[in-house]
Amino acid sequence: MPFADVGGVKIFYEIGGQGDPLIMIQGYGHNSLHWGKLPNEFAKLQYQVILIDNRGTGRSDKPDAPVTVSQMADDVSKVMDALSLKRASVFGVSMGGMIAQEFALNHADRLINLVLGCTMAGGPNSIKPTPEGAKILYDFDYLKNMTPEQRSREVFRFFCSDEFVEENPDALKEYHEATIEYPTPTYIFARQAEAISKFDTWDRLEKIKAPTMIITGTSDHIIPFKNSEFLEQRIPGAELTLLQDKRHGFFIEGMDSTRIFVNGFMKRHGKR
């Protein structure tokens, strides 16, 4: 399996397809398998899709050490070094969208296009999750008493509607299998939660120069869609797409819409 060594920490990555490079970054406690079928859909559209397991998740190393969102953005840059890849577009969701923001700010010369999904600027200017959403995110006494199987089923309620799950049982099965195959330790959730609590790009967002698309669902209880409206207001020239009634897993429940909108954005801007 391919890894990039970042100061002794192995970061797993995987490549699929050929074409314009597109790096996809998952969110809090999630690994690259949680994207579901979307990466393959992009590969069919002639993208070289590069999936990364953030440190602490999936097949990457899981050090019990402090981490920052900026550090995880540096990990992305190191993966690009391992691939001898000078520039790429980046699509990050949730915490992955925070990593993508830091990448856009700290590695601007390596970025082609930026896609931010169901994410926020952090700090005091962000809209917090609902109490129920906050419990599943940050109540570690609650989380540590769950098996990975229980945790995946509980979290998925916030990703997709009950109606979608009833009509698409394979989606829950795939998410469940991705969770239990490479379970994220509770201490990693705590480390990543601390990183998120210290994340704040609000005063720096105007420095992002790459073409930027923001996409989210209007029924997101984890990172309410108002956060995406704030990002649109702060990032020069940003384009906002709202997927009606979709939840935090808009890229699963609304995969076709996500593929169409993101591909359309990427093709309109192309390489610079």
pLDDT tens, the chain, 272 aa long: 799 999 999 999 999 999 999 999 999 999 999 999 999 999 999 999 999 999 999 999 999 999 999 999 999 999 999 999 999 999 999 999 999 999 999 999 999 999 999 999 999 999 999 888 888 788 878 777 777 778 788 889 899 998 998 999 999 999 999 999 999 998 999 999 999 999 999 999 999 999 999 999 999 999 999 999 999 999 999 999 999 999 999 999 999 999 999 999 999 997 65
Query: In the chain, where are the structural domains located?
Result: 3-269
pLDDT of residue 152: 81
pLDDT of residue 171: 93
Mapping DSSP to helix (H, G, I), strand (E, B) and coil, where does residue 35 land? Answer: helix
Asked if residue 98 lies in contact with residue 92, where contact means CB atoms within 8 angstroms, the answer is yes
How far is residue 227's CA from residue 57's CA, in Å, rounded to a whole number? 25
pLDDT of residue 149: 77
Q: Quote the DSSP letter at residue 182.
A: S
The DSSP annotation for 128-181 comes to PPPHHHHHHHH-HHHHHTS-HHHHHHHHHHHHS-HHHHHH-HHHHHHHHHHHHH
Mapping DSSP to helix (H, G, I), strand (E, B) and coil, where does residue 51 land? Answer: strand
At the topology level, CATH places domain 3-269 in Rossmann fold (3.40.50)
pLDDT of residue 131: 87
